Every structure is written in C-alpha cells, then in structure tokens.
Amino acid sequence: MRLADRVRDLGTETAFEAAARAAALEATGRHVIHLELGEPDFDTPANIREAAKRAIDEGRTHYAPPLGLPALREALAADATARKGFAVTPDRVVVLPGAKPSIFYSLLALVQPGDEVIYPDPGFPIYESMARYAGASPVPLPLRPENGFRLDPDELEGLVTPRTRVIVFNSPGNPTGEVLTRDDLEWIAGVAQEHDLVVLADEIYGRLVHEGEHISIASLPGMAERTVVMDGFSKTFAMTGWRLGYAILPQPLLEPFRRLVINSVSCTATFSQVGAIEAITGPQDAMEAMLAEFRARRDLIVEGLNAIPGLRCHRPAGAFYVFPDVSGTGLDGRELTDRLLVEGGVAVLPGTAFGRVGANHVRVSYANSRENIALALERIAEVAASLVAGSR
Ligand code: PLP
C-alpha cells in the first residue's frame, strides 16, 4: 500500500510505547512499578461521574454543538476569567475532545510550508510532531538544566526569524514540572509582540501548582488577542479517558476551529461535557485532595532521588513529574531507562522522549501511590548502586 508522505514524519508519544513495553514485561510475570505515565492514578471524583451517568440516563447521548455545550462554554469562560486573570467571553471558548486537539487545530490553522514554530526542548513531543505535520519547520528552544529549565530570553530572541509564526510553551511544564515566572512570560510576550507572533500556551497543568502561582500569558497586556490558551480536564480532575479539553481563542481562529472540529470529530461527547460542567462548578475538595497528595509525593520522590548516588533532582513547583540528571551513574537517560525496567522493574521515560536537551535525564511521573514510589526508590537505588560501583 502506498502511504501519503504526510504521515511518514508524524512523531509519536513514547509514553504509550514505554507503557506497552512495561506491560509486556509484566505479562511474563515480572512486577513493574509504573512511573512512566502522564496520568493521575486517582479515579475521577464521584460527583463528576454521577453527573455524567445521569446525563446518559437522561438521553444526553446525541451530537452536541461543534464548539461545545453553551452551558459548559459559559462555565469555562467564568472559570477562566476568575482563574486566569483576563476577561473571557463564552464565544471565545471551544470545547474539544482533550487538550491535544488544540495543538493540532492551532498549528493546522496557523502555519504552512516555509513557516517556523518555536517549541520547548525538553517539551511535550506533540508540538514538534504537529508543527512538522502542518508543513512548518519546528525550531527547538532549549530549556537548559543549568538554567533551572527556564528559558533564556536572549536565546529565544536569537531563534526568531522573519519566518517564525508561533511560539509554543507549557507551564507548569512536562517533563520538568517547572513553572515559568512573570519575568519569563513578559519576555515571551515581548518577543511575540515585537515580531507579531501567535503564542500557543499549554496550561494543562495550570492548577497543579505546589508553590508560587501559575500566570496565564494571556493576562499580560495585549496578549489575549495573540494567544491560544489550551487547557483541559485530563490532569486536573483525573479525567484522561473522558477526552475533554478546551481552548480560549483569538477571534480570527474561531471559524477555522469550528470547521476543523466539524471536519474531524463533529463535537466532544455530550455526556462528557455534562461531567465537565460538574467538574468546574461543583465542589473542588476532591481535586484539592489530589493536589495535596501530589505535593507530598513530590517531596518524597525529590528527597529519595537526591539520596541516591549518581542522581541529581531539582524540586519542581508544578505538574506531577521530576526530571533528574542521571549522568552520575555513568549512563545516559536512555540507557538508564532500559536498566531500570529490565533490572529494577521500574518504568520511567528517557529524557530524549522530550527532545535533545534531556539526554542525561529521565522523566519520572509521581502519579503513583507513596507506597509504590517508596518501593521504586529502593529499586532505583539498587540499580544505581550497581552502576556506580561498576564504574569505579
Ligand atoms: N499537553 C501536555 C503538556 C501534556 O502533558 C498532555 C498529556 O500528557 C497533553 C497536552 C494532552 O492532554 P489531553 O490528554 O487532555 O489531550
């Protein structure tokens, strides 16, 4: 069968493949601790599940309007206005099946061959993949470990050319968990305004902040009109399988998004959207309990990893990932990932799953119980000790 050229270079998310590898090992009878997955281990809170079940029983199983249920768009606009610090009207909110389609549709709508898209390295692999799929050249912006995984404003400025159209960034960030400061955002905003660029701000971890605050770049003066804010329910409310996300769009992108939705998925599942209304307007205590638990796990894992000779771990302020430097073991991130799985029964991801900068790192997700994290730390310590001893 002859396949179209455009699918040849489509990237992927190694997390799904790593999970399959770990599952294959488990199928042979090995016990594996999963620290590779980017999804909360909690169940969706009961009030949200009940709302969606009721919706199904009430027959809300038909198509919804392409841009989302009006009641959800209104609730999201009110929520975003309160939390993100800029005035959002319901007509600018588009409900989508996950946060991912925001990346897809934004880049399809904004770039074409000859254009360039700046994206974070390390960063979520879909930015680069989708920029290339849309015909543009992806340009990595290094977030260097020695700089605390923050961006270097001069480096950002240096990457902009007359062909640059979009800057993508993600804060709190996957895979580092780092949260950009107001200064960082002002730098990005300044560059975007000076060169007339669109910003794609991935705020999917925006409510998962352990210290400091999450600031939306769209709240800075003049930025709402050039920013696509993407957010969703997957991480905040443990709703990965519901496929629920949303984008807040500048006016010119509304019609392209409407058409892209109609051409691809028609709408987001109606009863999922009813669950989403409950998620944002109902009690927040389950969500807050999850966040508190993530914070305790972060402290456990950062302390545990830093106690292991050969590993060095920063203390990120957000999301549920850490991104330790493993070069002290004598191996790079990919080699250590293999050894941890095969010898230790611990699944993590190599830093290179997120770009080149993270070659000496692994991404460890702490979306697992404290008990499993403690056991994983013991196993990682054993593997690392054998490596450090072997390299002497
Ligand atoms: N953006 C980032 C940074 C992510 O880490 C993820 C999920 O891993 C997504 C977007 C996709 O979210 P969703 O599952 O809601 O499509």
Q: Residue 139: helix, strand or coil by DSSP?
A: strand
What is the DSSP code string of 342-369? III-EE-EEGGGG-STTTTBEEEE--S-
Q: Are residues 224 and 188 in the same domain?
A: yes
DSSP letter at 43?
A: P
- Given 281, 301, 316, which residue is the final one in a domain? 281
Domain with 34 in it: 5-44+285-387
Q: Residue 60: helix, strand or coil by DSSP?
A: coil
Q: Are residues 183 and 101 in the same domain?
A: yes
Report pLDDT digits (tens) over 167-176: 999 999 999 9
Instruction: Give whole-number Cα distances, 363 to 172, 176, 182, 220, 354, in Å.
Output: 15, 8, 26, 31, 9
Q: Are residues 349 and 239 in the same domain?
A: no
**Cα 163 → chain centroid:** 26
Q: Are residues 68 and 157 in the same domain?
A: yes
Give the nearest ligand 1 atom to 124 CA.
Answer: 3
**Is 54 contained in some domain?**
no
Mutate to test the pocket of ligand 1, among 102, 204, 228, 233 (most ligand atoms within 8 A of CB): 204
**Is 292 contained in some domain?**
yes
Q: Residue 12: helix, strand or coil by DSSP?
A: coil
**Is 51 contained in some domain?**
no
- The rounded distance, in Å, linking the Cα atoms of 84 and 355 is 29
Instruction: Give whole-number Cα distances, 367 to 38, 139, 279, 344, 373, in Å.
Output: 7, 30, 20, 19, 9
Q: Are residues 161 and 145 in the same domain?
A: yes
Q: What CATH number is attached to the domain comprising 138?
A: 3.40.640.10
The dihedral formed by the CA atoms of 330, 332, 335 and 341, expressed in degrees to the nearest 10: 90
Cβ of 176 closer than 6 Å to ligand 1, yes or no, is: no
Q: Which of 34, 12, 35, 38 is CA-nearest to residue 23?
A: 34
Report pLDDT digits (tens) over 263-306: 999 999 999 999 999 999 999 999 999 999 999 999 999 999 99
| Whole-prediction pTM | 0.96
Mutate to test the pocket of ligand 1, among 14, 39, 100, 127 (most ligand atoms within 8 A of CB): 100
**Is 52 contained in some domain?**
no
**Is 373 contained in some domain?**
yes
Residue 390 has pLDDT above 80, yes or no: no
Helices and strands, counts by H and E, the chain: 13, 12
- Given 281, 308, 328, which residue is the final one in a domain? 281
Mutate to test the pocket of ligand 1, among 174, 231, 244, 321 (most ligand atoms within 8 A of CB): 174
Q: Are residues 35 and 98 in the same domain?
A: no
| Residue 96 β-bridge partners | 245
- 3-state SS, 324-344, equals CECHHHCCCHHHHHHHHHHHH
Q: What residue owns the CA closest to ligand 1's atom 12?
A: 99
Q: Are residues 194 and 250 in the same domain?
A: yes
Instruction: Give the pLDDT band (50/70/90) at residue 392.
Output: low
Q: Are residues 23 and 97 in the same domain?
A: no
- The rounded distance, in Å, linking the Cα atoms of 22 and 349 is 11
329-352 mean pLDDT: 96
Q: Is the peptide bond before 45 cis (omega within 30 degrees of 0)?
A: no
Q: Cα(32) to centroid of ligand 1, in Å?
A: 24
The count of structural domains within the chain is: 2
Q: Are residues 196 and 333 in the same domain?
A: no
Cβ of 200 closer than 6 Å to ligand 1, yes or no, is: no
**Is 238 contained in some domain?**
yes
**Is 273 contained in some domain?**
yes
Q: Are residues 290 and 184 in the same domain?
A: no
Q: Write down the pLDDT at residue 53.
A: 98
End-to-end CA separation in angstroms for the chain? 53
Q: Residue 245: helix, strand or coil by DSSP?
A: strand
Q: Cα(59) to centroid of ligand 1, in Å?
A: 30
Give the nearest ligand 1 atom to 13 CA.
Answer: 8
Q: Are residues 291 and 275 in the same domain?
A: no
Report pLDDT digits (tens) over 117-158: 999 999 999 999 999 999 999 999 999 999 999 999 999 999
- Given 241, 261, 281, which residue is the final one in a domain? 281
Q: Cα(1) to centroid of ligand 1, in Å?
A: 32
Query: Do residues 278 and 354 make contact, with C-beta atoms less than 8 angstroms apart?
Result: no
Q: Write down the pLDDT at residue 74.
A: 98
DSSP letter at 391?
A: T
Q: Are residues 245 and 296 in the same domain?
A: no
Instruction: Give the pLDDT band (50/70/90) at residue 17.
Output: confident
Cβ of 37 closer than 6 Å to ligand 1, yes or no, is: no
**Is 117 contained in some domain?**
yes
What are the tokens at 176? 């580092």
Query: Do residues 184 and 203 make contact, with C-beta atoms less than 8 angstroms apart?
Result: no
What is the DSSP code string of 101-132? HHHHHHHHHH--TT-EEEEEESS-THHHHHHH
Q: What CATH number is attached to the domain comprising 298?
A: 3.90.1150.10
- The rounded distance, in Å, linking the Cα atoms of 356 and 208 is 26
Q: Cα(245) to centroid of ligand 1, in Å?
A: 9
